[in-house]
Every structure is written in C-alpha cells, then in structure tokens.
C-alpha cells in the first residue's frame, strides 16, 4: 500500500472503521528500531503507516500520560478514562463490541430490558438496506454517548485541575506519538497487516453487495 497517496481523511475513516479490539503491539516491537526519514514524502508515508499500525499503542500511551500526570487527583484519572471512552466510541468496531457486551450482561439480569436496548430495524429493499445503518449503543445513537462522556469528562477536568494543565498533558502525549510515528521504521509486520486489512475491507464490501 502506497501511504503517500492516502489522504488524512482516508486515514481518519480507516481508523474509525478498523477493529480496535486487537491487543497492542509488544513493547519490544514498539521500541525496536528508529531511523530518520530520508525525505518529506518518506516521513509522510511513515507517519500514516505507524499511526494505523500502532493505533492501539498510541491510544493507551496518551491515556497513560494523562493519567500519570494526575495521580494525586482521582477525579482527573476518571476524566482521563471518560475521555478515552468518548474517543473510543467514535470507532465502529469498539462501539458495536461494547454494545454487544453490555446487552449480553443486561440480558442475564433482565431480558425484557435487553430487548429494548436493541438497535432499530433498518428496512431492506431488494436485499439491501434502504439507508446506511447507524451505530447504536444500548438502543440509542452513538453520538449521544459520545456527547455525554465528553461533557462529563470536561466537567471533571475543570473541577479537578486547571484546563491549561490538561492541555499541556495532552500536548505532551500528542508530541510523543508524533515523534514515535516519525522515527519508528515500519517493519514487515506493519506492511503485511496493511495488506490483510485491505483484503478484509474489500471482502466486506464484496459481501455487502
């Protein structure tokens, strides 16, 4: 895959749709080999490849930096967790998996309540959905939970510490992620993983036809 031809919008869409349930890459692999990119085009391609391949590691690293910066403030740690969840809900795979696990847990307690948590049925015309099926969590649109968790995290951030401190910790996490993505040499596993994800995407589109 030529990452130089991938736009930022394509990368965001891929990160939103790709499965995030896979475990993070091993630490030994994450910090294995670093080199300077030979050109600006090589740097651009490397950053996009690493952001896609090490997405779970970067997500954990940013949440960890936010949490480690506020160890003496429990509300700030809760705010960091809520912030991570609000971002994770934007990913289709995570939202669907989270909804299935919550529904399964509720079904064991109250099957009637679990039935109400099912997403609305999308009408099918000529074997195809009439509209693109939206992601639902607990029977409600995903964006409702994103707004609720984001608002709750913002309130906790403001009440537990200064906003400038939060922005500084977040900036440190983003800079650390960018530095790693810029100098970590993409390995063969990253390339093979990219080809595998491309095949899955093509197969998924083919099966929907």
Q: How confident is the model at residue 208 (pLDDT cuts 50, 70, 90)?
A: very low
> What is residue 147's predicted lDDT score, i.e. its pLDDT?
92
User: What is the mean pLDDT of the segment spanning 159-181?
Assistant: 83
pLDDT per residue as tens digits for the range 190-202 = 655 655 555 455 4
pLDDT per residue as tens digits for the range 130-155 = 445 678 888 888 889 899 999 998 88
Dist CA 69 CA 157 (whole Å): 12
Burial class (CB in 10 A: 0-12, 13-18, 19+), 185: middle
pLDDT per residue as tens digits for the range 80-128 = 788 888 888 888 878 888 888 888 888 888 888 877 777 766 555 555 5
pTM of the model: 0.61
- Half-sphere CA count of 152, side-chain side, radius 13 A: 17
Tokens for 117? Answer: 């948590």
> What is residue 180's predicted lDDT score, i.e. its pLDDT?
93
Q: Strands 136-137, 140-141: parallel, antiparallel or unpaired by DSSP?
A: antiparallel
Q: Hey, which residues does 125 pair with through a beta bridge?
A: 128
Q: Hey, which residues does 136 pair with through a beta bridge?
A: 141
Q: Is residue 53 within 8 Å of 190, Cβ to Cβ?
A: yes
> What is residue 176's predicted lDDT score, i.e. its pLDDT?
93
The CA R_g of the chain, rounded to the nearest whole Å, is: 20
| DSSP letter (8 states) at residue 22 | S
Q: Give the DSSP H or E segment for 15.
A: helix 8-17
Dist CA 199 CA 202 (whole Å): 5
pLDDT per residue as tens digits for the range 9-63 = 766 776 766 666 667 888 888 888 898 988 888 888 888 888 888 888 898 888 8
Dist CA 97 CA 83 (whole Å): 18
Q: Which residue has the tokens 């891929």?
A: 14
């Amino acid at each position: 895959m030529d990452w130089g031809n991938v736009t930022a919008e394509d990368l965001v869409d891929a990160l939103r749709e790709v499965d995030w349930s896979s475990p993070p890459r091993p630490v030994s692999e994450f910090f294995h080999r670093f080199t300077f990119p030979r050109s600006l085009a090589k740097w651009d391609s490397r950053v996009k490849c690493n952001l896609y391949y090490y997405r779970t590691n970067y997500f954990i690293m940013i949440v960890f930096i936010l949490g480690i910066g506020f160890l003496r403030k429990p509300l700030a740690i809760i705010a960091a967790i809520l912030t991570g969840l609000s971002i994770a809900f934007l990913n289709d795979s995570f939202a669907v998996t989270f909804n299935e696990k919550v529904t399964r847990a509720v079904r064991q307690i109250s099957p009637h309540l679990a039935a109400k948590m099912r997403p609305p049925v999308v009408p099918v015309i000529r074997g195809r959905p009439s509209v693109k099926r939206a992601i639902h969590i607990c029977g409600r649109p995903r964006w409702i939970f994103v707004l609720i968790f984001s608002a709750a995290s913002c309130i906790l951030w403001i009440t537990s510490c200064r906003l400038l401190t939060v922005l500084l910790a977040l900036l440190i996490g983003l800079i650390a992620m960018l530095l790693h993505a810029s100098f970590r040499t993409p390995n063969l596993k990253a390339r093979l993983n990219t080809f595998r994800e491309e095949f899955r995407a093509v197969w998924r589109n083919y099966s929907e036809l």
